[in-house]
Amino acid sequence: MTIGDDRTSGAPQLLAACWTWAGDAGPGRPGPAGIEDLLTRIRAAAAAGWRGLGFHDQDLATARESIGFSGLREILHDRGISLIEVEFLDGWWLEQGNPGTEQLLLEAAAALGARVVKAGVPSRQVLTDIGPGQVASRLRALATRAGDAGTRIALEAMGVPGAMTIADVVELLDRADSPSCGAVVDNVQLACAGTPVGELRTLDWGRVASVELGDARGAGEAIRERCIPGDGTIDLPGFIRTVQELGWTGPWGVEIISSELRALPQPDGVRLVHDRTHAAFADSRRR
């Protein structure tokens, strides 16, 4: 175990989102699909002190086709990984949906005891074209299926032009009115969208299912890529403190999608991100 290991008393519960521990991989380029690569990365993340892991669909498909989800669950248990998330479900708001990915993610969530299934949201224009009521109805149906699988849908607002804001997502959740769906509060996406951290105080935190941490350089639309925590311009300790003051007591996802991280050997990268994130929590306490 490393200094600041999540399994020590009083430490924050940290979960490495899928790209944080993926090694030389990223969205659209998921990397090696072999089971040995997956198990090697799991061992490295556990050795670095992570208590939780997020799995993307390709890793889940690899596990299902080789050792099965029951085998993966046993390995995670043996390594002390007790928090699981799966991702990423897009297009659920369309009439045809995304049935193949949905089935994989919900099956994995049920077998692994995943706390949430991360999902996207339509753009504002698509939301208007389909109609907020229709989108909310489809979200309610999806959330019901997630609840039957013992998990929740966690909707992530993307900080890009034309995207729904975190406030828009919470409004959609209000329309859907299901206990089996909630919002992802991601500090980097908020920074990309130019959403002030103070605006979080106006959110209904009963609608929040997941909180994610990261760092990046620049501000607003100038942000192009995340970076190692502590190397960017985002006030990570300040965000942590604000969210804690608002009553968040759940786990903290850490999502780093970074060429700098991908360039490091995977065991070194997962340990560096873990320790830098703990340092941000220590800084928030000092403040």
User: Per the domain annotation, does 116 fall within a domain?
Assistant: yes
Q: Which domain holds residue 161?
A: 14-286
User: 8 in a domain, yes or no?
Assistant: no
Q: For residue 26, is it within any domain?
A: yes
How high does pLDDT run on average in the chain?
Answer: 94
Question: Is a pLDDT exceeding 60 seen at residue 49?
Answer: yes
One DSSP character per residue, the chain reads --TT-TTSTT---EEE-GGGSSSS-BTTB-----HHHHHHHHHHHHHTT-SEEEEEHHHHHHHHHTTHHHHHHHHHHHTT--EEEEEEE--TTSTT--HHHHHHHHHHHHHHT-SEEEE----HHHHHHH-HHHHHHHHHHHHHHHHHTT-EEEEE---STTPPPHHHHHHHHHHH--TTEEEEEEHHHHHHHT--GGGGGGS-GGGEEEEEE-EESS-GGG---EESTTSSSS-HHHHHHHHHHTT--S-EEE----HHHHTS-HHHHHHHHHHHHHHHHHHHHH-
**CATH number of residue 260's parent domain:** 3.20.20.150
Provide the pLDDT for residue 221.
77
Q: How many domains does the chain have?
A: 1
Q: 253: which strand partners? A: 15, 212
Neighbour-count burial of 55, counting CB atoms closer than 10 A to its CB (0-12 exposed, 13-18 middle, 19+ buried): buried
Residue 149 — pLDDT band, cuts 50, 70, 90? very high
| Residue 4, in any domain of the structure | no
What is the Cα–Cα distance from 190 to 209, expressed in whole angstroms? Answer: 16
In a domain, 7, yes or no: no
Q: Looking at residues 209-216, what average pLDDT do you find?
A: 97
pLDDT digit string, tens, across residues 214-263: 999 988 777 878 999 999 999 999 999 999 999 999 999 999 999 999 99
- Residue 7: is its pLDDT beyond 60? no
* Inside any domain, residue 273: yes
Give the model confidence (pLDDT) of 86-130 as tens digits: 999 999 999 999 999 999 999 999 999 999 999 999 999 999 999
Going by pLDDT thresholds of 50, 70 and 90, the confidence category of residue 164 is: very high
With cut-offs at 50, 70 and 90, classify the pLDDT of residue 31. confident
Q: Is residue 9 part of a domain?
A: no
pLDDT band for position 68 (cuts 50, 70, 90): very high
Query: Please, which pLDDT band fits residue 6 given cuts at 50, 70 and 90?
Result: low
Indicate the burial class of 30 (C-beta count within 10 angstroms; 0-12, 13-18, 19 or more). middle
Instruction: For residues 54 and 56, give the distance between their C-alpha atoms in angstroms, rounded to a whole number.
Output: 7
For the segment 30-52, the average pLDDT, to the nearest whole number, is 94
> Beta strands 52-56 and 215-216: pairing type?
unpaired
Strand pairing category for 215-216 and 226-227: antiparallel
pLDDT of residue 2 exceeding 50: no
Percent of the chain past pLDDT 90, that is, above it, reads 87
- C-alpha span between 40 and 24 (Å, rounded): 13
User: Hey, what are 284's tokens?
Assistant: 């928030």
Can you tell me the mean pLDDT for 72-78? 98
In a domain, 200, yes or no: yes
pLDDT(162) > 90: yes
Q: Taking the model in full, what pTM does it have?
A: 0.94
* Lowest model confidence (mean pLDDT) among 8-12, 61-65, 72-76, 205-209: 8-12
Q: Residue 5: its pLDDT value, please?
A: 53
Q: What are phi and psi of 286, to 5 degrees?
A: -65, -30
Residue for token pair 């997630």 = 146
The arithmetic mean of pLDDT across residues 126-136, rounded, is: 98
